[in-house]
Amino acid sequence: MARTAEEVKTLANEYFNRKEYDRAIELYTEAIELDATIATYYGNRSIAYLKKEFYGYALTDASKAIDLDKNYIKGYYRRAAAQMALNRFKQAVRDLETVVKYRPNDTDAKNKYNECLKIVKRLAFERAIAVDEVKKSVSESIDLESMSISDDYDGPQLTDGKVTKEFMIELMDYFRDRQKLHRKYAYKMILDVRQLFAKDDTLVDIQISSDQKFTVCGDIHGQFYDLLNIFKLNGLPNEDNPYLFNGDFVDRGSFSLECILTLIGFKLLYPKHFFMSRGNHESQTMNQMYGFEGEVKAKYTSQMYELFAEVFNLLPLAHCINSKVLVMHGGLFNSDTITLDQIRTTDRNRQPPDEGIMCDILWSDPMPAKGRAPSKRGVGVQFGPDVTDNFCKLNQLDYIIRSHEVKPDGYEEAHSGKCITVFSAPNYCDTMGNKGAFITMKGSDLRPKFTTYEEVPHPNVKPMAYANSLFSFM
């Protein structure tokens, strides 16, 4: 006997409550196909899309729900969440205003409305006082000499101002025990790595010898204890064990500072054998929402966060291994004519724009169908196997590696093996149940080998602990 739309929706809710969002989305879609007139079905699928970070789809569904029922208050709430995730705070204010109007006693809605309104006013003020002159770098205002180290500090210490192998081993142990590196050493590391990244190209060429192993890791997202597990499984970075971390080092997880300081420490120690690409979360908008800014301010200072923002602007956007494998965080482009040389000449020292090469590199996703489609995230583009094939032929590449998306097994081979996703944060946000993975390859054939692993225990600090309170319902 065929199921009714309401029965399918009820089943979808069960999967949603079990945090099986992909299956929930499939079932909400089935319910909509059976009866496309019910606002709740679109509203429920909207929040499932929010959980998957498909903000473009979430926005469309919430709007559809409102079109079907102007009094469906959850639709306004969910559309506001999607608008905020897309940095559209003015539109979010309007939706939250509607929620408050219909629910005047909803304290949470009122608080979110007031907080969102503050952001809109602050952004308007910042635009009003903006001037064309070049802003002075935060790095120029930092006085390391004035930062004294008290006698009771028992943590890792730089040797003549330099990172050593011994320092890194001690630092990771110190962080594992939830201790805080002295701010003088933290500032020194960030300032030094800023100079290193400033010398890099937007697209960095990497050469590995035929018998050398090379490792590519995907998103880490502040999951420090899982980062330590990668090094346990695959060995610490060194000249004979080079690594590339492919963006999204921070946000979501609540040990982002420990992650980024560990990664930049290895970059300083092995500058020619340790590489880092920018992800879409290495940006001020995302950091303000998803926790990194709040974490740095809580553990150190707002000045340190501003310095990190400068470093993130200087991170390379892509790496090319032996001229045959291109690695970037998001994906390919809204044009068939983009070449590696165009990526090389892209100005990256900025906050990510809403379109163009830099935007697509950080935000785009592959899809099974041919051609291109609007992004499920609301930013970037979705690209099909023909797009990948054309790009690889144009640029004489074997395949591309990207990250940016949770995958059940931690990785996925798509587009006939020419588009590989690797995601290295297992049980993402303590809710997704996915494995993590990393890729190893030898220079002789560049054939990808996948290593998967489960999450490891971490201290009882929940993901998003430092995130803006506006995003507690996402």
The residues that are catalytic are: 281
* Residues in contact with 110: Cβ distance below 8 Å, sequence separation at least 6, in sequence order: 100, 104
Distance, in Å, from the CA atom of 61 to the CA atom of 78, rounded to the nearest integer, reads 9
Residue 209 gets which letter from DSSP?
-
Strands 436-442 and 325-328: unpaired
Q: Give backbone dihedrals phi and psi of 422, rounded to 5 degrees, phi first.
A: -130, 130
**DSSP run (H or E) holding 214:** strand 213-217
Q: How far apart are CA 280 and CA 259, in angstroms?
A: 16
Give the residue from 452, 326, 346 showing the smallest Cα distance to 393.
Answer: 326
Q: Which residue's entry shows tokens 């309007």?
A: 94
Write the DSSP string, 439-469: EEEETTT---EEEEE------S--TTTTS-G
Between CA 329 and CA 364 the distance in angstroms is 9
Q: Name, in order, each residue with C-beta under 8 angstroms of 17's C-beta and a sequence gap of 6 or more.
A: none
Report the run of H or E that residue 22 belongs to, with start and end.
helix 21-34
Torsion from C-alpha of 298, 299, 305, 308, nearest 10 degrees: -150
CA distance 161 to 171: 15
Q: How far apart are CA 88 and CA 285, in angstroms?
A: 11
Read out DSSP for 301-333? Answer: -HHHHHHHHHHHHHS-SEEEETTTEEEESS---
Q: How many residues does the chain have?
A: 474
Q: How far apart are CA 32 and CA 82, in angstroms?
A: 20
Helix (H, G, I), strand (E, B) or coil at 350: coil
Assess contact for 364 and 418: CB atoms under 8 A: no
Cα 171 from Cα 48, distance rounded (Å): 39
Find the helix or strand (DSSP H, E) in which 189 lies. Answer: helix 183-199
Cβ atoms 158, 185 nearer than 8 A: yes
Q: What angle do CA 237, 243, 244 make, to 5 degrees?
A: 145
Residue 22 corresponds to which tokens in the numbers above?
């992909």
Tell me the one-letter amino acid at 359.
C
